[in-house]
């Protein structure tokens, strides 16, 4: 990969990066607290006011530089203000091309569709069609659920514990996390949530390959048992690596088993690659690791090059929509398509997938080393540049698999200590006890060292505070 230049008039050196930083009370944050709804979330944990960004770095108005390992929740695949994407967007703006035009055909859209088809695995591409949704992952999920119901004439959906699919009514209904569901009655009915293979906290209490076999046997059984009380679902929906659920990746064996079950019972397999798609795991799509194909593929986040865009891809055979049956005003964001095309082009041109595989292996190894230093790191896991550390309470008793309970308080303190030292990380997983890393895909090994140095110091200080 060619060197990513940071020709930015900022001081990126280690002194600045590691300078302890106390979060200041500033008027913009005060006004945000005053005027913005309680629903705001990230600013509560990351109370900064960014006004410049380049590559993996964000600078806030006080001049402090942060390494951004959140990257717009995985959206900024090539980092902030990547020159290649910027130039593409500027050229579109300067051309007076319409910026938004519903779902009308344009040259920009034509190119984007060509670029998306170009990255699809051959067997999926041959018969695929693309659907533009309103520009959020959640809307694309809604569309996928509706399509599955239309195609199969069935109404139930199977999803998984720990799965996250968005915050709209349908998407929330199939999401595992109970807290955003509180107080919301009449979520979508007909949803059944099943155990996901989470080895560190195995839902069957046994872990390993055997747990995956039991899981597959159980799912097959509930679908075939005439007295299971479960009518056949329209779709099974899953993430290949659960992101918000705590960076939990399913094995090839289990995914192939699920694929077989879906085919056996004519259930559509919806693979939600909103977070894992476009190179995040070291392959263009995470399902490629398992050598399976989805019936419906859901993409958002990185596909728009940092701008809002969401699409579905599925076999023409199941394209049973009536015209206009899932519309949305903002399905024609030309700037996002242009940025998306530039992102895909750059990823291929610079072989970013090999880069991701290379640096993520290093990142993972270093995290495993950190685990050997700090027993409060119960588990290191993930795929590609979607990595997580589960922080645990070693003062408590471990379960029968030797896993300690999650430590929400300590993970929160570590997150804050990281922020003070110039590193943005997010929490996820059960009780927010997983520290998540979703850096831009262009992160280098040296930059990973910076991340790990800050993390090391932050964990050390946090343990002494607890």
Ligand X SMILES: Cc1ncc(COP(=O)(O)O)c(C=O)c1O
Q: Which of 338, 432, 428 is nearest to 386 (CA)?
A: 428
CB of 43 to ligand X, least distance (A): 16
Given 71, 92, 138, 250, the residue binding ligand X (CB under 6 A): 138
CB of 371 to ligand X, least distance (A): 25
Contact call for residue 239 and ligand X (CB under 6 A)? yes
CB of 75 to ligand X, least distance (A): 9
- Residue 462 backbone zone (phi > 0: left; psi -120 to 50: alpha; other: beta): alpha
CB of 139 to ligand X, least distance (A): 7
Q: Which stretch binds ligand X (CB under 6 A): 113-121, 132-140, 148-156, 254-262?
A: 132-140
Given 23, 49, 73, 120, the residue binding ligand X (CB under 6 A): 73
Distance of alpha carbon 352 from alpha carbon 345, whole angstroms: 10
Residue 324, token pair as written in the block: 């206009």
Contact call for residue 426 and ligand X (CB under 6 A)? no
296 close to 235: Cβ distance less than 8 angstroms: yes
**271 versus 344: smaller Cβ distance to ligand X:** 271
CB of 444 to ligand X, least distance (A): 25
Q: Which of 393, 390, 378 is nearest to 434 (CA)?
A: 390
Distance of alpha carbon 113 from alpha carbon 356, whole angstroms: 24
Given 21, 112, 164, 346, the residue binding ligand X (CB under 6 A): 164
Contact call for residue 176 and ligand X (CB under 6 A)? no
**169 versus 445: smaller Cβ distance to ligand X:** 169
Contact call for residue 300 and ligand X (CB under 6 A)? yes
CB of 138 to ligand X, least distance (A): 3
Q: Is residue 356 packed enough to be buried (19+ CB in 10 Å), middle (13-18) or exposed (0-12)? A: buried
Q: Which of 301, 434, 281, 246 is nearest to 359 (CA)?
A: 281
311 close to 140: Cβ distance less than 8 angstroms: yes
Contact call for residue 429 and ligand X (CB under 6 A)? no
418 close to 424: Cβ distance less than 8 angstroms: yes
Distance of alpha carbon 300 from alpha carbon 131, whole angstroms: 12
CB of 403 to ligand X, least distance (A): 24
Contact call for residue 275 and ligand X (CB under 6 A)? yes
Given 80, 165, 283, 326, the residue binding ligand X (CB under 6 A): 165
Binding residues for ligand X, per CB under 6 A? 73, 136-138, 141, 164-166, 239, 243-244, 272, 274-275, 300
């Amino acid at each position: 990969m060619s060197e990513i230049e940071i020709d930015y008039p900022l001081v990126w050196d280690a002194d600045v990066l590691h300078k302890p930083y106390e979060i200041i009370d500033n008027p913009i944050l005060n006004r945000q607290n005053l005027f913005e709804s309680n629903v705001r979330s990230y600013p509560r944990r990351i109370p900064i006011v960014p006004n410049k960004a380049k590559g993996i770095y964000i600078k806030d108005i006080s001049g402090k530089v942060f390494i951004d390992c959140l990257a717009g929740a995985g959206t900024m695949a090539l980092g902030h203000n990547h020159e290649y994407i910027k130039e593409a967007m500027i050229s579109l703006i300067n051309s007076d091309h319409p910026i938004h035009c519903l779902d009308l055909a344009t040259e920009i859209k034509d190119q984007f569709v060509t670029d998306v088809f170009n990255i699809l695995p051959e067997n999926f591409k041959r018969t695929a069609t693309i659907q533009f949704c309103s520009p959020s992952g959640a809307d694309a999920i809604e569309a996928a659920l509706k399509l599955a119901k239309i195609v199969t004439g069935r109404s139930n959906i199977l999803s998984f514990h720990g799965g996250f699919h968005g915050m709209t009514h349908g998407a929330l209904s199939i999401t595992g996390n109970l807290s955003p569901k509180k107080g919301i009655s009449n979520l979508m009915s007909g949803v059944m949530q099943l155990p996901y293979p989470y080895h560190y906290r195995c839902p069957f209490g046994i872990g390993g390959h055997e747990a995956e076999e039991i899981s597959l046997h159980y799912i097959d059984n509930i679908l075939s048992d005439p007295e299971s009380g479960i009518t056949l679902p329209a779709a099974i929906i899953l993430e290949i690596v659960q992101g918000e659920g705590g960076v939990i990746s399913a094995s090839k064996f289990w995914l192939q088993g699920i694929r077989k079950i879906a085919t056996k019972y004519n259930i559509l397999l919806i693979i939600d690659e909103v977070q894992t798609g476009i190179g995040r795991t070291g392959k263009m799509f995470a399902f490629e690791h398992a050598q399976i194909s989805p019936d419906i593929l859901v993409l958002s986040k990185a596909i728009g090059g940092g701008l809002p865009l969401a699409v579905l891809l599925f076999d023409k055979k199941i394209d049973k929509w009536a015209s206009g049956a899932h519309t949305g005003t903002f399905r024609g964001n030309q700037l996002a398509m242009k940025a998306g095309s530039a992102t895909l082009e750059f990823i291929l041109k610079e072989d970013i997938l090999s880069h991701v595989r290379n640096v993520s292996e290093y990142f993972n190894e270093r995290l495993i080393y950190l685990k050997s230093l700090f027993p409060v790191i119960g588990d290191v896991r993930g795929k590609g540049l979607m990595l997580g550390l589960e922080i645990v309470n070693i003062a408590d008793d471990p379960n029968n698999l030797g896993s300690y309970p999650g430590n929400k308080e300590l993970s929160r303190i570590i997150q804050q200590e990281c922020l003070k030292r110039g590193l943005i990380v997010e929490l996820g997983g059960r009780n927010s006890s997983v520290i998540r890393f979703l850096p831009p895909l262009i992160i280098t090994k040296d930059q990973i060292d910076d991340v790990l140095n800050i993390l090391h110091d932050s964990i050390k200080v946090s343990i002494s505070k607890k």
